Amino acid sequence: MRFNLFKKKNTGSEKKEATYLTLRIRETVRETPDTLTVYFEQPEPFLDYKPGQFLTLILEIEGKQERRSYSLCTSPFVDPFPGITVKRLKGGLVSNHINEHFHPGKRVTVMRPIGNFVSDYHSQNKRLYGMVAGGSGITPIMGIIKTVLVNEPQSGIHLLYCSRSEEMIIFKDAIENLQEKYPNRLRVWHQLSQPGPAWGGACGRMDKETIKSFFSDLTQPREFDPKFFVCGPEGMMATAKTALGELGISEQTILSESFYLEKEASEPNDDLPELLSRPVTIVLEGEEHAFEVEAGKTILEAGLEEGLDMPYSCQSGLCTACRGKLLSGEVSMSEDAGLSEKEIAEGFILCCSTKPANSEVKVNIE
C-alpha cells in the first residue's frame, strides 16, 4: 500500500505535502569501490515517490549547509525501503562524505521526492522501453526497470549501459538476477570504456553507431509503443539523443535526466533588460513575502538572503527544487534545462536561474 505525505496547510481545507522529512538510514550497501547505496527506513506515513524521482539531501558539512540531489534507485512498487546510490566524484564534497560517513541509524534531512524523469506504468501498457545509462546514470533507471518488469507484464526493456570497467558496473548482480527472472523481457548490453583483459563484451566509448544498432529493432513498425530514458554524462546523453533522432525516434518519446551541467562562459546579451534592483513578491506556502532583488542577483539568492525558507538544491537549473509559477510580471531565465516544455508553457520558472525583468514579478512556490 502507498501513502501520501500530507500536512495541514493554514488556509482552508487545502493540503500540502511536507517539504522536508527526516529519514533514518536502515542499511548501506557497497555496490562498487566508489559507489554506495543507502537504504532508508520508511517514514510514517510511507515515502510517496514515483520511479525515477530524486531526493535532495540537506547535510551539515564542516559547519556549512550543503544540498545535493540523488535519484531513488528503488521502485515504490517493488522495494520495501527507498534507496539512493551515490558515486564518489573526484574532489566532490558531498559524494565523498556520503561514501565515508553514512551508516545505519544516522538521520538525514531530505526534501520530498520530485523530478520529471517519470512516466505512467500500468498493466495495460504494451511498450518497448529503450534505456541508455552511463555510470551513476543507472540509478533512476534501475527503479524504472524494476517497476516496468512488475507493473507491465506486456512490456519489454532494452538497456544499454556504459561503465568504466567490470568492477565499476553498478547493480551488476541485481541486473543479472532480473535478466534471469525475466529472460524474454529484459535485454542488457554492457559497454566498458576501460575493460580489464578478461572482459569479453563490448568496449570503447558509447558512440552513435553502437546506440543505433542496439535500438534499431525498436524502430521497426510493430504494435509496441517505444519510450526512451537516457541518463548519464552530458556527452553521452547528447550522443544518444542524436542517434535516436537519426533512427527517427521523436523527441517526445525520449526522457532524459541530467546530473550535472557544464557551465559555458556566458556571452554578453544585448537583449537583457537594463540591470536594476527590482521588487519581487514570493508566495510561499500561501504567505506573501515582498523583497528587493538586487541587480544581477537571482530571485532565489535574494530570497535566501531575506531569510526565506525557499526550496532549492543544485542552484544550476537542473533539479527543479526551486520551481515556482510566475503569477505576474516579466523575468529573464538563464537556465531551464530541468523544466519540460509543458511546464515552461504553463509559466513555471526556476528561481535559482531567474532574474526579475520588471517590477511586477510575483511568483507562487507550491
Ligand X SMILES: Cc1cc2nc3c(=O)[nH]c(=O)nc-3n(C[C@H](O)[C@H](O)[C@H](O)COP(=O)(O)OP(=O)(O)OC[C@H]3O[C@@H](n4cnc5c(N)ncnc54)[C@H](O)[C@@H]3O)c2cc1C
**Site residues for ligand FES per CB under 6 A:** 312-315, 317-322, 338, 350, 352
Location of C-alpha cell 539531501:
57
Radius of gyration of the chain (CA): 21
Between 66 and 292, whose beta carbon lies closer to ligand X?
A: 66
Which option in ligand X, ligand FES, none does residue 321 bind, with CB closer than 5 to 8 A by kind? ligand FES
Of residues 37-56, those binding ligand X (CB under 6 A): 54
Which option in ligand X, ligand FES, none does residue 141 bind, with CB closer than 5 to 8 A by kind? none
Which option in ligand X, ligand FES, none does residue 259 bind, with CB closer than 5 to 8 A by kind? ligand X
Between 293 and 314, whose beta carbon lies closer to ligand FES?
A: 314
Cis bond before residue 45 (omega within 30° of 0):
yes
Least distance from ligand X to the Cβ atom of residue 342, Å: 18
Under the binding rule (CB under 6 A), the answer on residue 139 touching ligand X is yes
Helix (H, G, I), strand (E, B) or coil at 236: helix
Which option in ligand FES, ligand X, none does residue 54 bind, with CB closer than 5 to 8 A by kind? ligand X
Cell of residue 152, nine digits:
507491465
Strand partners, 83: 39
Under the binding rule (CB under 6 A), the answer on residue 94 touching ligand X is yes
For ligand X, what does the binding mask look like between residues 73 and 92, x meaning CB under 6 A? -----------xxxx-x-xx
Which option in ligand X, ligand FES, none does residue 85 bind, with CB closer than 5 to 8 A by kind? ligand X
301-310 own/partner pairs: CB under 8 Å, 24+ apart? 301/352, 303/351, 308/282, 308/284, 309/19, 309/284, 310/282, 310/284, 310/351, 310/365
205-211 own/partner pairs: CB under 8 Å, 24+ apart? 205/162, 206/132, 206/134, 206/160, 206/162, 206/236, 206/239, 206/240, 207/239, 208/239, 208/242, 208/243, 208/246, 209/243, 210/160, 211/132, 211/160, 211/239, 211/240, 211/243, 211/244
The residue among 175, 180, 135 whose CA lies nearest residue 159 is 175
Which option in ligand X, ligand FES, none does residue 20 bind, with CB closer than 5 to 8 A by kind? none
Between 138 and 352, whose beta carbon lies closer to ligand FES?
A: 352
Under the binding rule (CB under 6 A), the answer on residue 174 touching ligand X is no
Under the binding rule (CB under 6 A), the answer on residue 68 touching ligand X is yes
- Judged by CB under 6 A, the residue of 132, 293, 299, 319 near ligand X is 319
Between 160 and 322, whose beta carbon lies closer to ligand FES?
A: 322
Under the binding rule (CB under 6 A), the answer on residue 70 touching ligand X is yes
End-to-end CA distance of the chain: 26
Under the binding rule (CB under 6 A), the answer on residue 111 touching ligand X is no
CA–CA dist 89, 151 (Å, integer)? 34
Contacts to ligand X by CB under 6 A: 54, 68-71, 84-87, 89, 91-96, 136, 139, 257, 259-260, 314, 318-319
